Amino acid sequence: QSWESSLRKGRLPLGKRDFVKDDVWPEEPLFGKVTDVMSRLGLPRLIRRHPEIKSSVLLEVARIVVEFTRSRERGKLVVVEDQQEDEVEDDPWAIEDDDTNDSVVFEYRPMLEGELDKLADQLAGNIQDQFGS
């Protein structure tokens, strides 16, 4: 609702004062990246002159938020270092079996702040790609 009413007025939501609750949506760093791109493109003024594109812009913002949230919750896929390998090196009597270490193990780990910032940049770039000239 805050996004729609702000865009209808030809401006972007300005943070906490524009939201009914204290929570800014989407959360940072995505909020800042999205509003920066939209401001550079002049989308709020364009939407004020052409309100028929407002739904398309808001749907793109929602799609980006969903993708950001899913990626943040899932985390990043990393290779797990094999702990058995360390144990074998510590045991001088152990017989090495190269066939047992052929499989690579992966797991998801939380994304770091810099990685979330980079993801937000990439997703906000989708607005540039879709609505930029």
For 55-114, the pLDDT digits (tens) are 999 999 999 999 999 999 999 888 887 655 544 456 556 555 555 555 788 888 999 999
Cα separation, 99 vs 36, in Å, equals 52
Q: What are the start-end ranges of the H helices in the chain?
A: 2-8, 30-41, 43-49, 54-74, 83-90, 113-131
Cα separation, 11 vs 22, in Å, equals 19
Cα separation, 13 vs 21, in Å, equals 13
pLDDT for the residue numbered 69: 95
Cα separation, 23 vs 20, in Å, equals 8
